[in-house]
Homo-oligomer: A and B are copies of this chain.
């Protein structure tokens, strides 16, 4: 679960996320996405739902919020890069947004 993703894993798990608006971070093995909502309440509502799921999964995002925009970065510090946990949390966030 928390092994660093190999190339085959990346084709299977990360490629679909990239097609769905995620991008590879430029400076480390991580994925990023910018979520934009109608207003602050919608943006923070998304964060609240995602926060509960993150805590349930035991895997937490690095994220920032400016009014209606939420910037998310996912990586797994224990493996110094992307793991299956990042792919699962990314997919969950896409569901919630």
Binding site for B on A (CB under 8 A): 40-41, 44, 47-48, 51, 54-55, 60-67
Check B67–A64 contact: CB distance below 8 A: no
- This chain: copies in complex: 2
Partner of A64 from the list B41, B48, B60, B64 (CB cut-off 8 Å) is: B64
Output the least CB separation between A93 and chain B (Å). 14
A67 near B60: Cβ-Cβ < 8 Å? yes
Query: What's the Cα separation between A55 and B41 when bound, in Å?
Result: 8
Complex Cα distance, B48 from A60, in Å, reads 16
**Chain B positions within 8 Å of A54 at CB level:** 40
- Give every chain B residue within 8 A of A65 (Cβ-Cβ): 61-64
